[in-house]
Amino acid sequence: ASLSQDGNQYRVRVYNTEGSLYSDAVNLSVNAALSVPQITNQPAAQTVFENNTATYSVAATGNPAPAYQWEVNTGSGWANISGATSSTYSFTAALADDGNLYRANVSNSEGSVTSDEADLTVTSEPFAPQITTQPASQSVFENTAVSFTVAATGGPAPSYQWVLNTGSGWADISGATESTYTLTATLVENGYQYRVKVYNSEGTVASNTVTLSVQEVVEGNRTGTAIIAPIVRNDPQDTYPTHYSDFGWGGLHQVPTLAHRDAIPNDLRVNGMVVVISGTHESYYLKDGTTNNNWAVYPPKDLVFIMPTSTDSAAPNNFLYYSTDQSALVYKDHSGTTHSLY
């Protein structure tokens, strides 16, 4: 018998010289051979917006007809999905489902087979960019790196284009296509305005306009927490700094103790001079006078200085600073290398 004969009916005619008759008709049922399930159509990866329906399907043959059990892997291994027992599995996707993997186990009495894995990508509904943090205006000394930064949301994720107004209208800045734009400020750029266009397929929004202020570095100028001043060495005995008068007013000086600070001769003191205590890394400056009563704690921030001459171990115009985690004055050259000044 073959499957093509399934359902055929048969009977027999019985006869002799005296006559004939037929038996009752009988049916022939031909069943397919028993077989392990075989998958003929694998499930495919899905990409949907959140709160939309994701559907996975599998097709398989087998005898007896196979049963199905869908499984999910959220990152901790495979687990059965309760109630997902047909050849198609549909559900409402949430953002938390993004990255999950799905597969089907197909089985009958003869065996089982597992489908390929199919991943799920869930994204937010598309929406135009929204700026959550605006860039801020910046004020820096010349030849200093400065950054403008914006933060934004959007679906799809937004792109960025920084634009510049030098006084003749807005123009794109070539290559400035990240959320942060960094440049080295020069005096030419003093007063320049910046803003950023944030855009995606759903729309565009422009940030607030910000301004860059660039201040010229002038020897002896003091602004905020940055001091631009001559640097002098300690004398070999480190008893108190010498040669103040060789460099004009104030400057930065280093002494080993508070007692050494207080012993600096009056004729060498200048209102505004800064003294660093090498033993404790504390900084003081003379405020509104030159007596010991006028010493005030300098703000605990790194100080930035400019070398006025090449008489010390640093080259002219290199940046120098004192840091509270250093044991002595150091300077950093234009390549970023740090050197000891003493």
pLDDT > 60? residue 158: yes
pLDDT at residue 271, as a whole number? 76
The pLDDT confidence band at residue 256, using thresholds 50, 70 and 90, is confident
Per-residue pLDDT tens digits for 219-242: 333 332 233 333 333 333 333 333
**Global pTM value:** 0.43
Distance CA 192, CA 137 (A): 10
Over pLDDT 90: what percentage of the chain?
A: 54
User: What is the model's pLDDT at position 280?
Assistant: 64
CA dihedral 30, 35, 41, 45 (to 10 degrees): 150
The answer for residues whose C-beta is within 8 angstroms of residue 50's C-beta and 6 or more apart is 93, 94, 95, 122, 123, 124, 125
Residue 250 pLDDT > 70: no
Average pLDDT over residues 166-188: 96
Query: For residue 311, what pLDDT is reported?
Result: 39
Burial code (b: 16+ CB inside 10 Å, e: under 16) for 117-150 equals: ebebebbeeeebbebeebbeebebbeebebebeb
Q: What is the pLDDT of residue 72?
A: 98
Q: How far apart are CA 279 and CA 288, in angstroms?
A: 26
At residue 249, does pLDDT exceed 90?
no
- Picking from 2-6, 198-202, 279-283, 336-340, which range would have the lowest pLDDT averaged per residue? 336-340
If pLDDT is split at 50, 70 and 90, which confidence band does 316 have? very low
- In the structure, what pLDDT confidence band is assigned to residue 97 with cuts at 50, 70 and 90? very high
Q: Output b/e per residue, 276-305; b: 16+ Cβ within 10 A.
A: bbbeeeebbbbeeebeeeebeebeeeebbb
For residue 246, pLDDT beyond 60: no
d(CA 234, CA 286): 18
Whether 300 shows a pLDDT value over 50: the answer reads no
State the average pLDDT over residues 31-53: 93
The pLDDT of residue 281 is: 61
- Confidence class of residue 337 from pLDDT cuts 50, 70 and 90? low
Rounded Cα gap, residues 311 and 233, in angstroms = 10
Which residues lie closer than 8 Å to 326 by C-beta, 6 or more apart? 281
Query: Longest Cα pair distance anywhere in the chain, in angstroms?
Result: 157
The set of residues, in sequence order, having a beta carbon less than 8 Å from that of 113 and lying 6+ positions away, is: 36, 37, 38, 39, 60, 105, 106, 107
Q: Residue 252: is its pLDDT beyond 70? A: no
- Can you tell me the mean pLDDT for 120-148? 92
Asked if pLDDT for residue 187 goes beyond 80, the answer is yes
Tens digits of residue pLDDT in 8-30 = 999 999 999 999 999 999 999 88
The mean pLDDT of the chain is 79
* List of domains in the chain: 1-31 (no CATH), 35-123 (2.60.40.10), 127-215 (2.60.40.10), 222-340 (no CATH)
**% of the chain surpassing 70 pLDDT:** 75
